[in-house]
Amino acid sequence: MLTLEGVVIRQDAFELRADLNVPKGARVSVIGPSGAGKSTLLNVIAGFFEPSAGRVLREGRDITRKPPGERGISLLFQDNNLFPHLTVAQNVGLGIDPGLRLTRDQRAWVEAALERVGLGGMGGRKPGRLSGGQQGRAGLARILVQGKSLILLDEPFAALGPALRAEMLALVEDVASEIGATLLMVSHDPGDARRLGGQAILVAEGRAEAPVEVAELLENPPPVLRNYLGD
Amino acid sequence: MTRSGPGWVAAGIVAALILGPLFAVFMRAETGGAVLTSDWAAVRFTILQAILSAALSIALAIPVARALARRAFPGRGILITLLGAPFILPVIVAVLGLLAVFGRGGIVNTGLAWLGLPPVSIYGLQGVVLAHVFFNLPLATRIILQGWQGIPAERFRLAANLGLSGVQVARFLEFPMLRAVVPGALMVVFAICLSSFAVALTLGGGPRATTVELAIYQAFNFDFDLGRAARLALIQLVLAGAAAVVAFWAAVPAGFGAGLGRVVRRWEAETWGARALDAGWITLAAGFLIVPLAMIFLNGVNGLTQMPGAVWRAAGVSVVIALISTVLCIGLALSLAMARRGWAEVVALMGIAVSPLVIGTGLFVIVNPWIDPSRLALPVTALVNALMALPFAMRVLAPDLARTEADFGRLADALGLTGWARLRWLILPRLRPALGFSAGLAGALSMGDLGVVALFADPDFATLPLQMYRLMGAYQMEAAAGAGLILLALSLGIFWIFDRGGRGDVDA
């Protein structure tokens, strides 16, 4: 369980409040108009941005002041998910050991993860030689070996076409199920939320609402969401 | 943050190495007595030659930069690369090249004798200014050329569309740019010339052509008057310190020739008169740069056979010092840059405000009671050279490091890449080109430096620049030319090897 307890995020004139629980193993989309603070909310959970007030808890333990690397969280951003100067296998290997001192077993594990996301035999390539979709897959392979119990995705496939995006979402879903991880995904596209299913957190008008069923939210959107959706 | 740990240590080392000697100088100067008239003469000459050098460099740089901005011709790229070269060209080598052209038996005086005209002398004020223009005309040209290329091409198209003449284009487009760029360029050259030591040592001298830096050296070497040296060091600090910090930001090339490749088409300048004028300026500037360098090469090849063994020993010493000081400089710069704090930059900048002779004086005062300073000549030279190159290395590394952290810092944080792992897997690979370039600068600057070593060396010890200076002082000009060629090759070689090593196979 991920808990945001009385969290207040302030940045100049911007303010966002969050008081919510995300149950273990849930699939949760974070939706809302741009500029509402979806990514900022994720940054607070990941530890890149400190809230002005309130606590972030995982399984009841306070992680508000923990450094990003010690929160038990895997991440996928829109871009810059891979270090361009390292090979794909090294990029994935960093998920096992930040010092990249891998045993033979661990290297086999990396290879298996690459195989699993459809990048078998491409471990020796540099990211620059992969397509956008393949780069996303490499990021997912790293999430697979990291095996962390919470996965945060910040508009991860925004640059991909619709068909490829659906395919990648399905892969994300599979990866999360395999690890048994909770999934939290920011997206500006309600279609992504519908495809992912599960629940959705609406971020709008300075508040991050508690998660509700996606279908329900999209069937009966509150006025602010209706304006955003445009129908 | 754990990352600023090494930064604190580096900052402490640098601050102690700069402030300690300054303090020692200060203590000594108080008991040193009143300011002498010869001190004032040195101050006056320092300012006068700096003003003349700056004014002349800029005045010549404006037409050269304009010609380069609006003309595409074969060899333009090479010429622009060459404009960056004086930054790593050893001063004493350039002086030797200038002597071969403008000296007593040089090309110019030979020509004048042919025409039955009296010879000109390169020594004194005119020689010091000439050498400074040789070094700073390229720098000023680069700065002003950047200004020219900052004017959007669309504006020149608009000007052509409106049918503006050359004079009108100058008035509406070029003059406003120059008004913004020229004061900064003047300031840069002025500040650089304020701290002139090697040029004044070789072409100046005497009561009427001594800079403050040279006076410090003379107080040391001829009179061994430490009090006077300390007093002059204090004067130099006040005189040049602030100006140097202001100037420094514009002086480091961001990579030789980088970003200056574009030529904007200029319709109003497509007249034969304008073409001839530009061709003339480019030829003149290229000749002024290339002929002395060519003379170094020609004379040097002849002199190679006449060099005493001491030259090779000195070359070895210089290479060792250059390598040590490069490692020190890059280690300090990287630690300071990784702290990513304002204070780190301030600490690194201190090296530019304090002249090497001032630090040298202070270190001499500190160690003199305990050890024979000449025994410390090698480590002190390596250390001071590293401190002098530190601001430049910081200037090159800091922006790249900031960009790396902006692009990949979150990812590295999320993966728990800290300490050594972050350095090994993120920072070193991303910064490789910048590290290579700054190590090249540090190595070449140290290789060619003739400064603090002059204070500490005894007759048995010399770096290559110092050995060259001694040969010149003994009128062994052929041998000096040979040594000069070796020094030039080593300086450029060190720069090239490091810079190349940094480029390697870089993935975007």
Domain locations in chain A?
22-50+67-72+149-231, 83-147
A186 touches chain B (CB under 8 A): no
Rounded to a whole number of angstroms, the distance from the CA of A176 to the nearest CA of chain B is 18
What is the maximum span of chain A, computed from C-alpha positions, in angstroms? Answer: 56
B55 contacts: CB under 8 Å, gap ≥ 6? B186
In the predicted structure, residue B227 carries a pLDDT above the cut 70: yes
Rounded to a whole number of angstroms, the distance from the CA of A128 to the nearest CA of chain B is 7
Picking from A50, A85, A91, A125 by the largest number of B CB atoms within 10 A of its own CB, the best residue to mutate is: A85
pLDDT tens readout for residues B229-252: 888 888 888 887 767 766 666 555
pLDDT tens readout for residues B46-95: 999 999 999 999 999 999 999 998 888 888 888 888 888 888 899 999 99
Cβ distance of A84 and B413 shorter than 8 Å: no
In the predicted structure, residue B336 carries a pLDDT above the cut 50: yes
What is the per-residue pLDDT for B508?
45
C-alpha span between B140 and B184 (Å, rounded): 10
Cβ distance of B507 and A128 shorter than 8 Å: yes
Which residues on adjacent β-strands are paired with residue B63?
none
CA distances (Å), origin A186, targets A40, A75, A183, A197, B224:
10, 11, 10, 13, 73
C-alpha span between B197 and A68 (Å, rounded): 52
Cβ distance of A83 and B508 shorter than 8 Å: no
CATH 3.40.50.300 is right for the domain spanning A22-50+67-72+149-231: yes
In the predicted structure, residue A154 carries a pLDDT above the cut 80: yes
pLDDT tens readout for residues B189-206: 888 888 888 899 889 877
Contact of A108 with A182, CB cutoff 8 Å? no
What is the per-residue pLDDT for B15?
86
Rounded to a whole number of angstroms, the distance from the CA of B366 to the nearest CA of chain A is 44
Q: Which is higher by pLDDT, A162 or B1?
A: A162
Q: Which chain B residues touch A100 with a CB distance below 8 Å? A: 421, 424-425
What is the per-residue pLDDT for B303?
85
What is the per-residue pLDDT for B2?
44
Contact of B3 with B338, CB cutoff 8 Å? yes
What is the per-residue pLDDT for A231?
63
Contact of B282 with B343, CB cutoff 8 Å? no
Strands A182-186 and A53-58, bridge-based pairing: unpaired
Rounded to a whole number of angstroms, the distance from the CA of A129 to the nearest CA of chain B is 10
Q: Quote the DSSP letter at residue B51.
A: H
Q: Which chain B residues touch A70 with a CB distance below 8 Å? A: 416
Token match 């005497």: residue?
Answer: B206
Q: Which chain A residues touch B508 with a CB distance below 8 Å? A: 84, 128
Rounded to a whole number of angstroms, the distance from the CA of B422 to the nearest CA of chain A is 8
C-alpha span between A137 and B6 (Å, rounded): 37
Rounded to a whole number of angstroms, the distance from the CA of A55 to the nearest CA of chain B is 19
Give the chain B residue whose CA is nearest to the CA of A43: B410
Give the pLDDT mean for B116-138.
Answer: 91
Cβ distance of B416 and A69 shorter than 8 Å: yes
Nearest to B413 among A48, A80, A83 (CB): A48
Give the chain B residue whose CA is nearest to the CA of A152: B414
The pair of structure tokens assigned to B493 is 């070689």
Strand locations in chain A (E): 2-11, 14-22, 27-31, 53-58, 61-62, 73-76, 150-154, 182-186, 199-204, 207-208, 212-213
Confidence of residue B259 (pLDDT cuts 50, 70, 90): low
Cβ distance of A85 and B417 shorter than 8 Å: no
Percent of chain A's residues with pLDDT above 90: 58
Rounded to a whole number of angstroms, the distance from the CA of B505 to the nearest CA of chain A is 9
Q: Phi and psi (nearest 5°) for A197?
A: 70, -155
C-alpha span between B387 and B18 (Å, rounded): 8
Closest CA to B217 of B237, B242, B200, B203: B200
What is the per-residue pLDDT for B77?
85
Contact of B210 with B45, CB cutoff 8 Å? yes
Give the pLDDT mean for B169-179.
Answer: 85
Q: Which chain A residues touch B2 with a CB distance below 8 Å? A: none
Helices B76-84, B272-303: axis angle to 10 degrees equals 60
Nearest to A69 among B407, B415, B425 (CB): B415
Rounded to a whole number of angstroms, the distance from the CA of B372 to the nearest CA of chain A is 47
In the predicted structure, residue B254 carries a pLDDT above the cut 60: no
Give the chain A residue whose CA is nearest to the CA of B417: A98
Q: Which chain B residues touch A91 with a CB distance below 8 Å? A: none
B472 contacts: CB under 8 Å, gap ≥ 6? B92, B96, B202, B480
Give the pLDDT mean for B177-197.
Answer: 86
Give the chain A residue whose CA is nearest to the CA of B423: A99
Closest CA to B311 of B429, B181, B169, B462: B462
SS (H, E, C) A62-97: ECCCCCHHHCCEEEECCCCCCCCCCCHHHHHHCCCC
Rounded to a whole number of angstroms, the distance from the CA of A69 to the nearest CA of chain B is 4
Confidence of residue B332 (pLDDT cuts 50, 70, 90): very high
B51 contacts: CB under 8 Å, gap ≥ 6? B190
A73 touches chain B (CB under 8 A): yes
C-alpha span between B234 and B228 (Å, rounded): 10
Pick from A227-231, B212-216, B246-250 the range whose average pLDDT is largest: B212-216
Region of A135 (left: φ > 0; alpha: ψ -120 to 50; beta: rest) is alpha
C-alpha span between B255 and B503 (Å, rounded): 12
Rounded to a whole number of angstroms, the distance from the CA of B322 to the nearest CA of chain A is 30
Give the chain B residue whose CA is nearest to the CA of A129: B507
Q: Work out the number of other CB atoms within 10 angstroms of the CB of residue B313.
A: 15
Cβ distance of B413 and A86 shorter than 8 Å: no
B120 contacts: CB under 8 Å, gap ≥ 6? B102, B108, B109, B112, B126
CA distances (Å), origin B80, targets A35, B75, B85, B145, B286:
46, 9, 9, 10, 10
Which helix (H) or strand (E) is A193 found in, with range? helix A190-196
Q: Quote the DSSP letter at residue B13.
A: H
- Residues listed for chain A: 231
CA distances (Å), origin A146, targets A44, A71, A135, B442:
20, 12, 17, 42
Residue A200, burial from CB neighbour count under 10 angstroms (0-12, 13-18, 19+) = buried
Cβ distance of B411 and A98 shorter than 8 Å: no
CA distances (Å), origin A53, targets A7, A49, B48, B131, B133:
5, 12, 62, 63, 61
B500 contacts: CB under 8 Å, gap ≥ 6? B436
Give the pLDDT mean for A95-119.
Answer: 92
Q: Which chain B residues touch A94 with a CB distance below 8 Å? A: 415, 417, 425
pLDDT tens readout for residues B82-113: 888 888 899 999 999 999 999 888 889 889 98
A80 touches chain B (CB under 8 A): yes
pLDDT tens readout for residues A191-202: 889 988 899 999
C-alpha span between B200 and B476 (Å, rounded): 20
Cβ distance of B411 and A75 shorter than 8 Å: yes
Nearest to A84 among B420, B422, B507 (CB): B507
Cβ distance of A98 and B410 shorter than 8 Å: no
Angle, vertex CA A168, rays to CA A166 and CA A174, nearest 5 = 105
Angle, vertex CA B202, rays to CA B201 and CA B204, nearest 5 = 70
Contact of A49 with A43, CB cutoff 8 Å? yes
Q: Which chain A residues touch B415 with a CB distance below 8 Å? A: 69, 94-95, 98
Cβ distance of A94 and B425 shorter than 8 Å: yes
Q: Which chain A residues touch B410 with a CB distance below 8 Å? A: 46, 48, 68, 75, 77, 80
Cβ distance of A73 and B414 shorter than 8 Å: yes
CA distances (Å), origin B472, targets B120, B241, B458, B467:
20, 31, 17, 9
Domains assigned to chain B? 1-31+307-508 (1.10.3720.10), 36-72+87-273 (1.10.3720.10)
C-alpha span between A185 and A64 (Å, rounded): 20
pLDDT tens readout for residues B274-317: 899 999 999 999 999 999 999 999 988 888 888 888 899 999 99
Rounded to a whole number of angstroms, the distance from the CA of B324 to the nearest CA of chain A is 28
C-alpha span between B159 and B170 (Å, rounded): 11
Residue A24, burial from CB neighbour count under 10 angstroms (0-12, 13-18, 19+) = middle
C-alpha span between B197 and B205 (Å, rounded): 10
A78 touches chain B (CB under 8 A): no
Cβ distance of A85 and B424 shorter than 8 Å: no
Q: Measured in whole angstroms, how far is the alpha carbon of residue B349 from the centre of its chain?
A: 15
Cβ distance of A69 and B424 shorter than 8 Å: no
Average pLDDT score over chain B: 85
Q: Quote the DSSP letter at residue B172.
A: I
A226 touches chain B (CB under 8 A): no
